[in-house]
Amino acid sequence: MDLSNHTLNSLFLQLGLPDSDQAIDDFIDQHKGIDKNIPLHEADFWTPAQSAFIKESQEQDSDWTEVIDHLDAMLRG
């Protein structure tokens, strides 16, 4: 069992995105406002690999789910 405590920074690193606090803030500012009817993994700014990782993590209720849900809320705010 993986007991890792994932953060937004580690999620961005996993997605191959810049993972500094400022880079994350910039990403959220740039992509904020996703329609509530569009699943996070279907947002048009993900690469196919990023989208697949997000979708699979949520479907499998992986240890990434909590931080992905947090990012989802931030992008819809």
Per-residue model confidence as pLDDT tens digits over 5-33: 899 999 999 999 999 999 999 999 999 99
- Taking only Cα atoms into account, the Rg of the chain, rounded to an integer number of angstroms, comes to 12
- pTM listed for this prediction: 0.90
Q: Where are the domains of the chain?
A: 8-76
Q: How far apart are CA 2 and CA 48, in angstroms?
A: 25
Question: Taking a C-beta distance cutoff of 8 angstroms, is the pair 76, 36 a contact?
Answer: yes
pLDDT at 3 over 80: no
Given this model, what pLDDT does residue 4 score? 64
Query: How many CB atoms sit inside 10 A of residue 73's CB?
Result: 10
CATH topology of domain 8-76: Arc Repressor Mutant, subunit A (1.10.10)
Given this model, what pLDDT does residue 77 score? 78
More confidently predicted of 74 and 4: 74
Q: How far apart are CA 15 and CA 43, in angstroms?
A: 14
Given this model, what pLDDT does residue 5 score? 80
Question: Taking a C-beta distance cutoff of 8 angstroms, is the pair 32, 74 a contact?
Answer: yes
